[in-house]
Structure 1
Amino acid sequence: MARVHNFSAGPAALPEAVLRQAQSEMLEWNGIGASIVEISHRSAEFIEVAARAEADLRTLLSIPDDYAVLFQAGGATTAQALLALNFANPGQTVDYVVSGHWGKTAIKQVKDYVNVNVAATSEASHFTDIPARDTWQLSADAAYVHITANETIHGVEFRDTPDVGSVPLFADFSSSIASEPVDVSKYGVIYAGAQKNLGPVGVAVVIIRRDLLERSGQPRADIFDYRSHSARDSMLNTPPTWNWYLAGLMFRWMLDEGGVTEFAKRSAQKSGLVYGAIDGSGGFYRNEVVPGARSRMNIPFFLPDDTLTARFLTESKAAGLLALKGHKAVGGLRASLYNALPVSGAQALVDFMHDFQQRNG
């Protein structure tokens, strides 16, 4: 079997070492005579797995003790809806800064519960930049300010944590979490679907400053109440145990590789290679994002016409470069450079790009 270089935007690549460990433990985990996916989430064995995963994630991201860590089913989109239900009163204003598709999606999940103020948006420029901080029209009494740290589709990324004053800053970190050091204490809530940098699809991580859990929020079923999930260590109901276990293996792998400082170096190297190939192509390849807002994780790029794009996709797949098709919202091509993709994968893509240009430019 030959594994390819996987540039999928999500579900995304997992490290081979993690997959092989999961494979070896699939039939029997830790000598108990059963698979991890078969045992109770309330068993001592699984509780140990869950506790280690949380401890490793806290170490990996330097999460302070005054933050709760939840492992949740439903993904980031469910988390988006629960933000308003848990942390804003009915009809209260919330501020959203929109820098791409997922920022707009986040608003859709809360608009029926709260008064949404779009404090800033870069839609007029087709989401090729981050709205400048001095243009944000923030509300004085907002329950929170929401940003999307990295826009997977449009390829724009906040390179610094914006200052929003005393109002809690909430952020969707789905596609950039654990790719560089982040000061968690600057955020009220950080949430992320695991299926890009943290593990498999089917589980999301929600990091909440504990004092925010004291907010009454809105009438909601207990299953939608983050206070209840925190009190039960994310086991209010049966959690996605296999996905949680795999995420734990991923956290341990990232720590063993050197942690977020090491992955920041790799991310800079990988994205530098690909942007260098684009910028050095004389216009054959183009990326439309303002350089200061370019994502290190997701790089959309375009060829001169659709015929070349189709040819690039066919030939790159044959060359062992998987999932380079751009999102349907923008078209073109896209390379996702998450933590599990090695630097050699980015180099292989760049080598192919150079060769393709020589043959078709």
Structure 2
Amino acid sequence: MNDNSLFEPYELGNITLSNRVVMAPLTRNRADAGFVPGDLAVEYYAQRASAGLIITEATQISQQGQGYQNTPGIYTQAQIDGWRKVTDAVHARGGHIVLQLWHVGRISHVDLQPGGQAPVAPSAIRAETKTFVNNGFVDVSEPRALELTEIPGIVEDFRRAAANAIKAGFDGVEIHGANGYLLDQFLKDGANTRTDAYGGSVQNRARIVLEVTAAIVDEIGAERTGIRISPVSPANGASSSDPQPQFDYLVGKLDELGIAYIHVVEGATGGPREVAPFDFDALRSRFTNTYIANNGYDLDLAAKRLAEGKADLFAFGRPFISNPDLVARLKSGAPLAALDPATLYGGGAEGYTDYPTLAG
């Protein structure tokens, strides 16, 4: 199998992707008032519609789910309408796009929470990390542990958000179960010290993730549902003492639900692939449908892993920021443009929609 196999069509759920190159979710902090994606977002995603699949920036399912300033939501009609402009623009260029559904849990700040309340988490353990609020990076706030009676409401928020995503014209949704946010916090025993039905055992720590996934499958269909996981990533301070059995169990149960894909961060998010011992091939073998591989992929590594049958699709993150035509550049062997770190988070068109394509 040669490099060209990356650029052949692929059947994902009920859609046909034009290639196997996926645009990974990338937080850019540019939502308009009301946490609505604006005209710049329409242009930004349309510019990148040649990706086989676009996974949007993480999008909060409720105000409680927000952890950073100016990130978009999917819980009001104005947000649905704003996202509809994005999906229409991507579809008009022949692309496919899914919405990543996000609840940050403890990775938040009281200034972003309803009524200035404490962020929620599986357990009242503050993460040793920062968030972006009031135009700067600050320590996250001390969280409170979710009451058992509150958890069904979180599941319902995810279900409603998935329904709203379909109303907004998305081809499906990706559940954000990675990178130390709420669902990952439940999975990792370093963040989850509960002694009820949502903590302790491998099965209990996976419970809310499976409940959320089942609710979304029931709402929009398994063929339109995916999930992102990061078994060994230390992102946002979520750690696991023994991740292999936890994620082997989780992926086996996700497979039973028949979802379209798992999107796996292999190693540390945006960092080393060999951050901790873990058998990612074991997850691949437990999952019947599509495996999206993420973290540190370039053309050569993606082609190698595809030829070995280790993954089906390959997610590229930061290269898509500064290369809106990344697929064409990979296919032709053209050099990749460098991104400007100063314009990653917040701002306007600079460093967002003004990166040129090969065509100029």
Is TM (by shorter chain) over 0.5?
Answer: no
Which of structures 1 and 2 has the larger relative contact order (alpha carbons within 8 angstroms, sep 6+)? Answer: 1
Q: Which of the two has higher C-alpha Rg?
A: 1
TM-score of the superposition, structure 2-length normalised? 0.25
TM-score by length of 1: 0.25
